[in-house]
Copies of this chain bind each other. A is one copy, B any other.
Amino acid sequence: MRKPASVYLLKQPPPRTNQVSCANCALDHICLPRGLSQEEIDDISQVVKARKVLQRGEFLYHEGDDFRGILAIKSGSAKLVASDQHGNEHIVNILLPGELLGFDGLPEEKHHCAAIALETTSFCLLPADNMEELFHNVPSLTRELFKHTGEMMNQDRTQLILGKRPAEERMAYFLMSLSERLKRRGFSASEFKLSLTRQEIGNHLGLALETVSRLLKKFQDEDLIVVQNRFITIKNLAALKSMLDAPE
Protein backbone atom coordinates (compact mmCIF):
# COMPACT_ATOMS: atom_id res chain seq x y z
CA MET A 1 0.00 0.00 0.00
CA ARG A 2 1.17 3.46 -0.87
CA LYS A 3 2.30 5.60 2.03
CA PRO A 4 1.01 9.19 2.21
CA ALA A 5 2.98 11.19 -0.31
CA SER A 6 4.11 13.62 2.32
CA VAL A 7 6.32 10.88 3.79
CA TYR A 8 8.22 10.75 0.54
CA LEU A 9 8.24 14.45 -0.05
CA LEU A 10 9.33 15.77 3.26
CA LYS A 11 12.87 14.90 4.10
CA GLN A 12 12.87 17.84 6.50
CA PRO A 13 10.21 20.01 8.09
CA PRO A 14 8.50 22.22 5.50
CA PRO A 15 9.89 25.76 5.29
CA ARG A 16 7.36 28.26 6.57
CA THR A 17 8.63 31.16 4.51
CA ASN A 18 6.63 31.88 1.36
CA GLN A 19 4.23 29.13 2.37
CA VAL A 20 0.86 28.98 0.66
CA SER A 21 -1.92 26.49 1.01
CA CYS A 22 -3.60 25.26 -2.16
CA ALA A 23 -6.35 23.89 0.10
CA ASN A 24 -7.55 27.37 1.07
CA CYS A 25 -7.04 28.93 -2.34
CA ALA A 26 -10.14 30.26 -4.07
CA LEU A 27 -8.76 29.08 -7.41
CA ASP A 28 -8.67 25.39 -6.45
CA HIS A 29 -11.19 24.47 -9.15
CA ILE A 30 -9.08 26.02 -11.92
CA CYS A 31 -5.46 25.78 -10.85
CA LEU A 32 -3.11 22.93 -9.93
CA PRO A 33 -5.34 21.37 -7.25
CA ARG A 34 -8.09 20.80 -9.79
CA GLY A 35 -9.08 17.13 -9.85
CA LEU A 36 -6.97 16.14 -6.83
CA SER A 37 -8.10 14.61 -3.54
CA GLN A 38 -7.79 16.54 -0.29
CA GLU A 39 -4.78 14.46 0.67
CA GLU A 40 -3.08 15.10 -2.64
CA ILE A 41 -3.75 18.84 -2.36
CA ASP A 42 -2.10 18.82 1.05
CA ASP A 43 0.88 17.03 -0.50
CA ILE A 44 1.42 19.56 -3.26
CA SER A 45 0.82 22.43 -0.85
CA GLN A 46 4.01 21.34 0.89
CA VAL A 47 6.13 22.08 -2.17
CA VAL A 48 4.27 24.97 -3.79
CA LYS A 49 5.83 28.31 -2.94
CA ALA A 50 4.31 31.76 -3.16
CA ARG A 51 6.46 34.42 -4.70
CA LYS A 52 6.50 38.17 -4.22
CA VAL A 53 4.04 40.53 -5.82
CA LEU A 54 5.02 42.14 -9.13
CA GLN A 55 4.02 45.48 -10.67
CA ARG A 56 3.04 46.05 -14.30
CA GLY A 57 5.99 45.50 -16.58
CA GLU A 58 7.97 43.32 -14.17
CA PHE A 59 9.05 39.87 -15.35
CA LEU A 60 7.87 36.54 -13.94
CA TYR A 61 10.71 35.11 -16.03
CA HIS A 62 12.85 36.25 -18.95
CA GLU A 63 13.48 34.45 -22.22
CA GLY A 64 16.56 32.30 -21.70
CA ASP A 65 16.12 32.00 -17.92
CA ASP A 66 16.74 28.58 -16.44
CA PHE A 67 13.53 26.62 -16.03
CA ARG A 68 12.72 26.52 -12.32
CA GLY A 69 9.25 25.07 -12.34
CA ILE A 70 5.63 25.60 -13.30
CA LEU A 71 4.08 28.90 -12.23
CA ALA A 72 0.47 29.69 -11.42
CA ILE A 73 -1.07 33.15 -11.48
CA LYS A 74 -2.60 33.85 -8.06
CA SER A 75 -3.94 37.32 -8.78
CA GLY A 76 -3.59 39.86 -11.57
CA SER A 77 -2.57 38.88 -15.07
CA ALA A 78 0.44 38.38 -17.29
CA LYS A 79 1.41 38.24 -20.95
CA LEU A 80 3.58 35.55 -22.51
CA VAL A 81 5.95 37.18 -24.99
CA ALA A 82 8.04 35.40 -27.63
CA SER A 83 10.47 37.22 -29.85
CA ASP A 84 11.10 36.28 -33.47
CA GLN A 85 14.24 36.44 -35.62
CA HIS A 86 13.35 39.95 -36.74
CA GLY A 87 13.52 41.26 -33.20
CA ASN A 88 9.77 41.72 -32.98
CA GLU A 89 7.92 40.63 -29.90
CA HIS A 90 4.69 38.67 -30.02
CA ILE A 91 2.18 38.24 -27.22
CA VAL A 92 1.37 34.55 -27.61
CA ASN A 93 -0.93 34.29 -24.62
CA ILE A 94 -2.62 36.19 -21.79
CA LEU A 95 -2.67 34.49 -18.39
CA LEU A 96 -5.44 35.00 -15.82
CA PRO A 97 -5.66 33.87 -12.18
CA GLY A 98 -5.44 30.09 -11.76
CA GLU A 99 -3.70 29.58 -15.09
CA LEU A 100 -0.39 27.77 -15.33
CA LEU A 101 2.64 28.94 -17.24
CA GLY A 102 6.28 28.08 -17.73
CA PHE A 103 5.85 25.00 -19.93
CA ASP A 104 7.94 26.71 -22.60
CA GLY A 105 10.95 25.97 -20.41
CA LEU A 106 10.48 22.20 -20.35
CA PRO A 107 12.19 21.09 -23.59
CA GLU A 108 15.53 22.82 -23.09
CA GLU A 109 15.45 23.62 -19.37
CA LYS A 110 15.53 27.27 -20.48
CA HIS A 111 12.56 29.53 -21.00
CA HIS A 112 11.59 30.09 -24.60
CA CYS A 113 9.31 33.05 -23.86
CA ALA A 114 9.19 35.84 -21.32
CA ALA A 115 6.30 36.27 -18.89
CA ILE A 116 5.50 39.86 -17.89
CA ALA A 117 2.96 41.19 -15.39
CA LEU A 118 0.17 43.25 -16.99
CA GLU A 119 -0.90 44.74 -13.66
CA THR A 120 -0.14 44.13 -9.98
CA THR A 121 0.23 40.36 -10.00
CA SER A 122 1.14 37.57 -7.59
CA PHE A 123 2.02 34.01 -8.46
CA CYS A 124 2.92 30.61 -7.01
CA LEU A 125 5.69 28.20 -8.03
CA LEU A 126 5.75 24.42 -8.27
CA PRO A 127 9.53 23.98 -8.18
CA ALA A 128 11.08 21.78 -10.87
CA ASP A 129 13.52 20.09 -8.50
CA ASN A 130 10.58 18.39 -6.81
CA MET A 131 8.72 17.49 -9.96
CA GLU A 132 10.13 14.04 -10.65
CA GLU A 133 9.35 13.07 -7.08
CA LEU A 134 5.84 14.38 -7.57
CA PHE A 135 5.40 12.39 -10.79
CA HIS A 136 6.29 9.28 -8.82
CA ASN A 137 4.31 10.06 -5.69
CA VAL A 138 1.28 11.94 -7.00
CA PRO A 139 0.51 10.37 -10.39
CA SER A 140 -2.86 12.11 -10.42
CA LEU A 141 -1.02 15.45 -10.37
CA THR A 142 0.95 14.25 -13.38
CA ARG A 143 -2.28 13.40 -15.16
CA GLU A 144 -3.68 16.83 -14.34
CA LEU A 145 -0.51 18.56 -15.51
CA PHE A 146 -0.81 16.75 -18.84
CA LYS A 147 -4.42 17.85 -19.04
CA HIS A 148 -3.36 21.45 -18.44
CA THR A 149 -0.71 21.24 -21.17
CA GLY A 150 -3.24 19.64 -23.52
CA GLU A 151 -5.64 22.51 -22.81
CA MET A 152 -2.98 25.08 -23.54
CA MET A 153 -2.09 23.37 -26.80
CA ASN A 154 -5.73 23.37 -27.81
CA GLN A 155 -5.94 27.06 -26.88
CA ASP A 156 -2.87 27.85 -28.97
CA ARG A 157 -4.45 26.03 -31.89
CA THR A 158 -7.67 27.97 -31.53
CA GLN A 159 -5.53 31.08 -31.67
CA LEU A 160 -3.75 29.70 -34.74
CA ILE A 161 -7.03 29.11 -36.55
CA LEU A 162 -8.34 32.50 -35.45
CA GLY A 163 -5.30 34.09 -37.10
CA LYS A 164 -6.71 33.14 -40.49
CA ARG A 165 -10.04 34.83 -39.83
CA PRO A 166 -10.92 38.48 -40.54
CA ALA A 167 -10.05 41.22 -38.05
CA GLU A 168 -13.62 41.67 -36.82
CA GLU A 169 -13.88 38.04 -35.86
CA ARG A 170 -10.56 38.03 -34.02
CA MET A 171 -11.68 41.02 -31.98
CA ALA A 172 -15.07 39.46 -31.21
CA TYR A 173 -13.38 36.26 -30.09
CA PHE A 174 -10.93 38.16 -27.90
CA LEU A 175 -13.69 40.01 -26.05
CA MET A 176 -15.94 36.99 -25.76
CA SER A 177 -13.23 34.67 -24.54
CA LEU A 178 -11.95 37.22 -22.03
CA SER A 179 -15.48 37.70 -20.73
CA GLU A 180 -16.01 33.96 -20.25
CA ARG A 181 -12.63 33.39 -18.64
CA LEU A 182 -13.19 36.25 -16.19
CA LYS A 183 -16.65 34.95 -15.34
CA ARG A 184 -15.22 31.52 -14.56
CA ARG A 185 -12.91 33.21 -12.04
CA GLY A 186 -15.72 35.05 -10.28
CA PHE A 187 -15.26 38.41 -11.97
CA SER A 188 -17.94 40.24 -13.90
CA ALA A 189 -18.45 38.83 -17.39
CA SER A 190 -19.97 42.06 -18.66
CA GLU A 191 -17.73 44.77 -17.23
CA PHE A 192 -13.98 44.64 -17.10
CA LYS A 193 -10.85 46.67 -17.55
CA LEU A 194 -8.49 45.67 -20.31
CA SER A 195 -5.04 45.44 -18.82
CA LEU A 196 -3.62 45.71 -22.36
CA THR A 197 -3.04 48.77 -24.52
CA ARG A 198 -4.48 48.89 -28.07
CA GLN A 199 -0.95 48.20 -29.20
CA GLU A 200 -0.77 45.04 -27.08
CA ILE A 201 -4.22 43.82 -28.15
CA GLY A 202 -3.20 44.37 -31.76
CA ASN A 203 0.05 42.54 -31.25
CA HIS A 204 -1.74 39.60 -29.67
CA LEU A 205 -4.35 39.40 -32.43
CA GLY A 206 -2.02 40.19 -35.31
CA LEU A 207 -3.67 43.53 -36.07
CA ALA A 208 -2.49 47.13 -36.27
CA LEU A 209 -3.36 49.19 -33.20
CA GLU A 210 -5.45 51.48 -35.41
CA THR A 211 -7.52 48.50 -36.51
CA VAL A 212 -8.18 47.59 -32.87
CA SER A 213 -9.34 51.13 -32.18
CA ARG A 214 -11.61 51.16 -35.23
CA LEU A 215 -13.15 47.79 -34.40
CA LEU A 216 -13.91 48.73 -30.80
CA LYS A 217 -15.59 51.87 -32.15
CA LYS A 218 -17.54 49.80 -34.67
CA PHE A 219 -18.74 47.35 -32.01
CA GLN A 220 -19.82 50.29 -29.88
CA ASP A 221 -21.69 51.86 -32.79
CA GLU A 222 -23.47 48.53 -33.27
CA ASP A 223 -24.46 48.52 -29.58
CA LEU A 224 -22.50 45.36 -28.82
CA ILE A 225 -20.21 46.99 -26.27
CA VAL A 226 -19.47 50.28 -24.53
CA VAL A 227 -15.87 51.42 -24.62
CA GLN A 228 -14.51 53.96 -22.17
CA ASN A 229 -10.83 53.94 -22.74
CA ARG A 230 -9.77 50.57 -21.25
CA PHE A 231 -13.07 49.83 -19.60
CA ILE A 232 -15.31 47.54 -21.59
CA THR A 233 -18.98 46.83 -21.00
CA ILE A 234 -20.41 43.94 -22.97
CA LYS A 235 -23.98 44.73 -23.98
CA ASN A 236 -24.66 41.88 -26.38
CA LEU A 237 -22.51 38.82 -25.85
CA ALA A 238 -24.79 36.67 -28.02
CA ALA A 239 -24.21 38.95 -31.01
CA LEU A 240 -20.44 38.82 -30.48
CA LYS A 241 -20.60 35.02 -30.33
CA SER A 242 -22.74 34.81 -33.43
CA MET A 243 -19.96 36.49 -35.42
CA LEU A 244 -17.83 33.46 -34.70
CA ASP A 245 -20.10 30.83 -36.16
CA ALA A 246 -21.79 32.75 -38.94
CA PRO A 247 -22.10 30.57 -42.06
CA GLU A 248 -19.31 32.40 -43.90
Q: A residues touching B (Cβ–Cβ < 8 Å)?
A: 82, 84-87, 90, 92, 103-107, 112-113, 131-132, 135-136, 139-140, 142-143, 145-154, 156-157, 159-161, 163-165, 206, 244-248
Contacts and interface: CB of A to CB of B under 8 A. Distances in A.
A87 B245 CA distance: 8
Nearest to A146: B106
A154 B152 CA distance: 11
A157 B107 contact: no
11 contacts: A85-B245, A86-B245, A86-B247, A90-B164, A103-B146, A107-B147, A132-B143, A135-B143, A153-B156, A163-B163, A164-B206
Given A139-B132, A247-B86, A107 B151 contact: yes
Nearest 9 A-B pairs (CB), nearest first?
A: A106-B150, A85-B245, A163-B163, A107-B150, A164-B206, A156-B156, A135-B142, A107-B151, A135-B139
Nearest to A102: B150
Contact of A156 (B84, B146, B151, B160): B160
B152 A153 contact: yes
Contacts of A156: 153, 156-157, 160
Given A157-B92, A157-B113, A206 B150 contact: no
Contact of A160 (B152, B159, B248): B159
A239 to B, nearest CB: 15
A107 to B, nearest CB: 4
